[in-house]
Amino acid sequence: MYKLDLPIDTREANAIAARQQREQQRKTQIFNARTRLIGVDTDSLAKQIEEKNLMQQADRERANAYDNDMIKTAQICTLLDERQRNDTRKLNEQMNKFRLEQQAASSRREFDLYDPDSKKKDKPARVSDDDPRCQVSGLQLFQGEDLSAKDRKKLQQEQMREWIKQQLEEKNREKAAEKYAEQLHQKKMMEIDARSAQLAREEETCRRNLNVATKNYNAALSAERKARESLDKQKEQDDNFTELSNQVFGDVLTENPEVAQSSFGAHRVIPDRWKGMSPEQRAEIQRIQDMQKEEKQRMLDEEKELYNEYEKTALLQAQKAILMEREKNRKAAELEKSIAEENMRLATEQRLNQTRLNKEVYTNPPTDDYFAQFNTCTR
């Protein structure tokens, strides 16, 4: 990925400042004891929630636009990186091929120093009386001049010219490779600059379109808000008139005894309209409580009986466990005794076998003379 210097988005900075200001206002409302104890304005909260949702939607759209631009940039950078890796791989392949074909180990001038077949290629110490390799220290040929000096110097000069020629060729190839790599780098930088300019133009176009869409959307929201406020005002007036009518002509003020009957069943009542229980209802509640007491006493008796049976069962199981443990210990003692007897028998057999080996089998141990015959020569 390549970092691009994008201009600062003033709209985003303004949005952040607006969010911080709303947060300070919200803290003022929450930390106000009077508002917290008496209540809050639900209409204002609903309006704030709606505005917050609209802002979040706008932020999501803006983030999606930025994400799309980032994805495009990442794809382009990935293609450029892949192209560079391919070029580098091809250059390395060509370099390795040249090394295998033109820079073999046998063509080096120091190859004779570490040639593994140097002993096979070497000549004997002396081939004839005219052998130039016979030096004074060899005591094989005594002479006062170097007869092959001229040929040797000529051969050395030719070899030196060949080495210089190879070095020049190698230096030219390195310069060509460096020039090719520099050209690839320049092409890549030009492509990056062109893509950066294109991304900047696309971003500016996207911002203009987003501003136009935001302006149209805000105008639509303003018109919708005015229409909704008019409808809410008319609805509030109708509700107030209906509430006054219900309070004046309702069953609560007229004290109708059937008002306390709930619509969810005959056994349910409305608490704020209920005048109290009848004697029949009190007698039914007492009867149900007596039945519950009897049922609870029966369950306690059954639980106590079950607990006694569990205690008896646990005692029997404990006794069985003690008997099984004793049987296990007895068998373990018998097993240990048999193992000890077997070990004693095996020890006796091993001791007798070792005595037989020492006295009958190993009767001729090696002496120092046997070991002294090794490492006495080069073979």
DSSP-derived secondary structure for 74-114: HHHHHHHHHHHHHHHHHHHHHHHHHHHHHS-GGGSTTGGGS
Helices (H), 5-148: 10-30, 33-38, 42-102, 118-121
Q: How far apart are CA 53 and CA 61, in angstroms?
A: 12
315-373 confidence digits (pLDDT tens): 888 888 888 988 888 898 899 989 999 999 999 999 888 888 888 877 777 777 777 77
Q: How far apart are CA 332 and CA 374, in angstroms?
A: 58
Enter the tokens of residue 190: 């030009």
Strand partners for 260 = none
Prediction pTM value: 0.22
Task: Give the pLDDT confidence score for residue 2 in this predicted structure.
Answer: 45
Q: How far apart are CA 125 and CA 120, in angstroms?
A: 13
Of 177, 179, 185, 180, the C-alpha closest to 99 is: 177
Q: How far apart are CA 338 and CA 278, in angstroms?
A: 89
Task: Give the pLDDT confidence score for residue 378 in this predicted structure.
Answer: 46
All residue ranges of the chain with pLDDT < 70 are 1-8, 32-41, 124-129, 131, 135-149, 247-263, 265-267, 270, 273-278, 374-379
Task: Give the pLDDT confidence score for residue 88 in this predicted structure.
Answer: 92
Task: Give the pLDDT confidence score for residue 370 in this predicted structure.
Answer: 77
Task: Give the pLDDT confidence score for residue 1 in this predicted structure.
Answer: 43
Q: What is the mean pLDDT of the chain?
A: 80
Task: Give the pLDDT confidence score for residue 379 in this predicted structure.
Answer: 46
CA distances (Å), 365 to each of 353, 368, 369, 371, in order?
18, 10, 11, 12
